[in-house]
Amino acid sequence: MTRPNSTQIALMLGLVSLVLILGALGFQYIGGYPPCEMCMWQRYPHFGAIVVGLGGGLLLQAGVLPRSLARPVAFLTALLVAITGAIGIYHAGVEWQMWAGPSACTGSAFAVTGKLDLNAHVVSCDHAAWRLFGVSMAGYNALISLGFAIAGFALLARTGKTA
């Protein structure tokens, strides 16, 4: 089996982010689990990884971008996937009350700061809306994202400076 090149690594990581975002959107729109503020934080690096990994990877394959950008594109994609995994660890820790989360979405559900909308739905960041085998969506995002980011960095290290 041949080792993947930098372009393929970028495409793989971009695809992982796309699948995870589609899963999150499925939980949101099909499952009825609205995201909290920290859930949204985890989505932003995924969107970046999709644009950089899939977009950049496809532009590299088409010859629109020079081959010299393949490693930086793959590295940036892996970094974005690692960042969302790190945010997932932080969020999972907040859910398990290991550390405090942002005041905007933890603690009391009501904060009187002007116009009071009693119909506004507040999604709490410190309570997991869904768990499987004791692991929340934030936990799964952390495990999957960090696992693929580490694999991406390891593969990049093995491809050498020329790939």
Token reading at 38: 């920290």
Number of CB atoms found within 10 A of residue 47's CB: 14
Query: For residue range 24-38, what is the model confidence (pLDDT) as tens digits?
Result: 999 999 998 888 888
pTM of this structure: 0.86
Of 20 and 95, the one with more pLDDT: 20
CA nearest to 57, candidates 45, 72, 42, 47: 72
Backbone φ and ψ of 122, nearest 5°: -100, 120
Q: Is the pLDDT of residue 106 over 90?
A: no
pLDDT, position 116: 60
Q: What angle do CA 21, 140, 14 make, to 5 degrees?
A: 40
State the Cα–Cα distance between residues 27 and 35, nearest whole angstrom. Answer: 9
Which residue type is seen at 67? R
Please answer whether residues 54 and 11 qualify as being in contact, where contact means their C-beta atoms are separated by less than 8 angstroms: yes
pLDDT of residue 127: 77
How does pLDDT run across 52-74, given as a tens digit for each residue?
999 999 999 999 999 999 999 99
pLDDT of 137: 87
Tokens 């959107």 map to which residue? Answer: 25
Top pLDDT among 128 and 81 is at 81
- The H or E element spanning position 56 is helix 56-61
- The domain limits of the chain are 6-159
Taking alpha carbons only, the member of 110, 78, 100 closest to residue 14 is 78
pLDDT digits (tens, 9 = 90+) for 6-20: 999 999 999 999 999
In CATH, the architecture of 6-159 is Up-down Bundle (1.20)
